[in-house]
Amino acid sequence: MDQSHIRNFSIIAHIDHGKSTIADRLIERTGTLSSREMEDQVLDSMELERERGITIKAQTVRLLYDSKNGEQYELNLIDTPGHVDFNYEVSRSLAACEGALLVVDAAQGVEAQTLANVYLALEHDLEIVPVINKIDLPSADPDKVKREIEEVIGLDASDAILCSAKTGEGIDEILEAIVERVPEPTGDDKKPLRALIFDSYFDSYKGVIAHVRLMDGHIRKGDALRMMATQKTFEVTDVGCFRPAPVEVGSLSAGDVGFVAGSLKNVRDVRVGDTITSEKNPAPEALPGYRGVTPMVYCGLYPVDSGDFDNLKEALEKLQLNDAALVFEPETSVALGFGFRCGFLGLLHMDVIQERLEREYHLELITTAPSVIYHVHRTDGEMVPVDNPAKLPPPQKIDFIEEPYVKATIIVPNDYVGAVMQVSQEKRGEYSSMDYLDVNRVMLVYHMPLSEIIYDYFDELKSTTRGYASLDYELSDYRPSKLVKLDILLNGDPVDALSTIVFSEQAPRRGRELAAKLRELIPRQMFEIPIQAAVGSKIVARENVRAYRKDVIAKCYGGDISRKRKLLEKQKEGKKRMKAVGSVEIPQEAFMAVLKIH
């Protein structure tokens, strides 16, 4: 289709503000799928995404819309992941669009997540169409939300569309606004090909499939193409668009959104943000904005049953086929044996991978507490990145340590400002700014260590503000901190998988809390188990798991031996979820105990 009849847009919304429902209505209204084919929220296709109500992988769909002006338009909806972990992916999806719907809940107003994404969209010069959703709610206050959009974001909200994705009200207006207000693409299909990869996934028949937005030029089946960052070359075997299932169309040209495949076996060759160009007639310059993925959070993943190591490896390799952000390498723990150190974009990403391993690959895993990457400057002048507390060099070899800081943006009703400030200070936050969004909502900005965010900042924020606070953060810089390694000794032996790196002043308190938590989590065994928390050779806390003294079920059930055996089997089964470290049996959750102290 000619570019004047193409509109590329995405939807920006805070979680739960109705992005997926609006997408569903658009698909339904344009007849892309009949309502019989409509499954609720078709775009969130992964089971986990449905359960959590979030989008993990971005998806795309081409809608053919017959406008009131009598013409047919190709509307490409580029769905964006809705979580801070996937910020870079969001930015690439936005770079593929000319416009965005900004969806705000009519009852809840602008949230931190919304803001972050709107700013991203504005950076990409997108035309933003404000949509106020859920106007059917009794608590809806569209005028207040309009004011918020104007005052907080600085967007003209006078022609914001009022809509209810639930009842279908306003959906036609949205479609018309996309045609009228979102600019048409302005690429040149005579110029050498430049296609932006904004997502990719692995298909077991076609290999890696790249989601692309063509800026200039065209792609036809059989073309020889090249990735400008990875220099990988391939021949196009499939080219098409999503409706929402992939449909072959034979060619794509400037302004179009679709997919391209061609005997690519590894998602690592198809990097989000990379530019595809023609092998014969390459573009002189790649599209801007590409960067490699850098994991922010690391943890150890170990099979409970050491015989599952190869299965875990295979499962990680399979997940990696579809997830270029997941990195892993084998590591050994004295306590846990053979496993993998895995890097993730953030905690959600980590959770999702872990759940998929357990659910889809039926692996029983022990996850060690997540760690950020510390920059350890050694006395010999060299800087080593450390993502595993157990690998921290001995104190005498350390000159100083730097840790990653984030800029955290918190939006909260003004009644809770004091509470937020207190929690943020406790978490070593440095106050940066405070602005009133309206008479009763405040936006606070803090700089704080990423490790505190991972640890329990968000939980505490939520609980001290009764769930009203919304948080967004982005990595800002590395700053020197007084950090020490807190070790845990069970029965006198250090358990490497339980070591953490903590702020030195907090070490005694964290040690006490951790030891107390472990005492709760570690069941009584045949002997007493001393739990010690230590910084270097200094013991900062001590607890005891008392030995269990008596465990005898005396009745012999009138000769019903099978019943007795089954009972013993069941008890034994309960013990299987434990990991024997030396002579001590430790339940899985103990390794995450460091995150569960409150």
CB of 101 to another protein, least distance (A): 52
Which of 413, 435, 526, 582 is in the footprint of another protein by CB under 8 A? 526
For residue 247, state whether it binds another protein (rule: CB under 8 A): no
| Binding span for another protein by CB under 8 A among 112-120, 283-291, 361-369, 563-571 | 563-571
Which residue number, 359 or 575, has a Cβ lying nearer to another protein?
575
Which of 560, 577, 593, 598 is in the footprint of another protein by CB under 8 A? 560
Which of 564, 588, 589, 592 is in the footprint of another protein by CB under 8 A? 564
For residue 550, state whether it binds another protein (rule: CB under 8 A): yes
For residue 544, state whether it binds another protein (rule: CB under 8 A): no
For residue 571, state whether it binds another protein (rule: CB under 8 A): yes
Match 């009849």 to its residue by tokens.
Answer: 5
367 CB-contact burial (10 Å; exposed 0-12 / middle 13-18 / buried 19+)? buried
366 CB-contact burial (10 Å; exposed 0-12 / middle 13-18 / buried 19+)? buried
How many whole angstroms separate alpha carbon 297 and alpha carbon 301? 13
Strands, E assignment, 86-206: 99-105, 127-133, 161-162, 194-203
Match 């089946």 to its residue by tokens.
Answer: 221
Which residue number, 245 or 553, has a Cβ lying nearer to another protein?
553
Which of 1, 224, 334, 556 is in the footprint of another protein by CB under 8 A? 556
How many whole angstroms separate alpha carbon 60 and alpha carbon 65? 16
Residues forming a β-bridge with 302: 366
For residue 375, state whether it binds another protein (rule: CB under 8 A): no
Match 């971005």 to its residue by tokens.
Answer: 58
DSSP string, 335-352: TTEEEEEEEESSHHHHHH
Match 């007639």 to its residue by tokens.
Answer: 281
Which residue number, 72 or 571, has a Cβ lying nearer to another protein?
571
Size of the site for another protein (CB under 8 A): 25
How many whole angstroms separate alpha carbon 341 and alpha carbon 328? 5
For residue 565, state whether it binds another protein (rule: CB under 8 A): yes
Which of 40, 329, 552, 598 is in the footprint of another protein by CB under 8 A? 552
Q: Is residue 79 left, alpha or beta, with left meaning phi > 0 and alpha meaning psi from -120 to 50?
A: beta
For residue 492, state whether it binds another protein (rule: CB under 8 A): no
| Binding span for another protein by CB under 8 A among 176-184, 225-233, 409-417, 560-568 | 560-568
Which DSSP state fits 465? T
CB of 518 to another protein, least distance (A): 21
| Binding span for another protein by CB under 8 A among 148-156, 216-224, 497-505, 553-561 | 553-561
For residue 40, state whether it binds another protein (rule: CB under 8 A): no
CB of 519 to another protein, least distance (A): 16
For residue 279, state whether it binds another protein (rule: CB under 8 A): no
CB of 585 to another protein, least distance (A): 11
> CB-based contacts of 159: which residues, under 8 Å, 6+ apart?
none
Residues forming a β-bridge with 199: 211
Which residue number, 307 or 381, has a Cβ lying nearer to another protein?
307
Which residue number, 245 or 526, has a Cβ lying nearer to another protein?
526
How many whole angstroms separate alpha carbon 593 and alpha carbon 547? 21
CB of 527 to another protein, least distance (A): 6
CB of 269 to another protein, least distance (A): 48
| Cα dist from 103 to 112, 171, 412, 470, whole Å | 13, 12, 19, 16
CB of 583 to another protein, least distance (A): 8
* Residues 184-223, interacting with another protein (CB under 8 A): none
For residue 359, state whether it binds another protein (rule: CB under 8 A): no
Which of 527, 531, 541, 543 is in the footprint of another protein by CB under 8 A? 527
| Binding span for another protein by CB under 8 A among 102-110, 312-320, 437-445, 565-573 | 565-573
CB of 528 to another protein, least distance (A): 12
DSSP string, 269-337: GS-TT-EEEESSS--SSPPTT-------EEEEEEESSGGGHHHHHHHHHHHHHT-TT-EEEEEEETTTE
Q: Give me 70's structure tokens.
A: 């009598």
For residue 436, state whether it binds another protein (rule: CB under 8 A): no
For residue 528, state whether it binds another protein (rule: CB under 8 A): no
Which residue number, 291 or 524, has a Cβ lying nearer to another protein?
524
Match 């595809």 to its residue by tokens.
Answer: 276
| Binding span for another protein by CB under 8 A among 48-56, 152-160, 252-260, 545-553 | 545-553
For residue 329, state whether it binds another protein (rule: CB under 8 A): no
For residue 572, state whether it binds another protein (rule: CB under 8 A): yes
CB of 305 to another protein, least distance (A): 15
Asked whether 252 and 214 are in contact (CB, 8 A), the reply is: yes
Q: Give me 399's structure tokens.
A: 């000159």
157 CB-contact burial (10 Å; exposed 0-12 / middle 13-18 / buried 19+)? buried
Q: For binding to another protein (CB under 8 A), which residues are involved?
A: 526-527, 548-565, 568-569, 571-572, 575
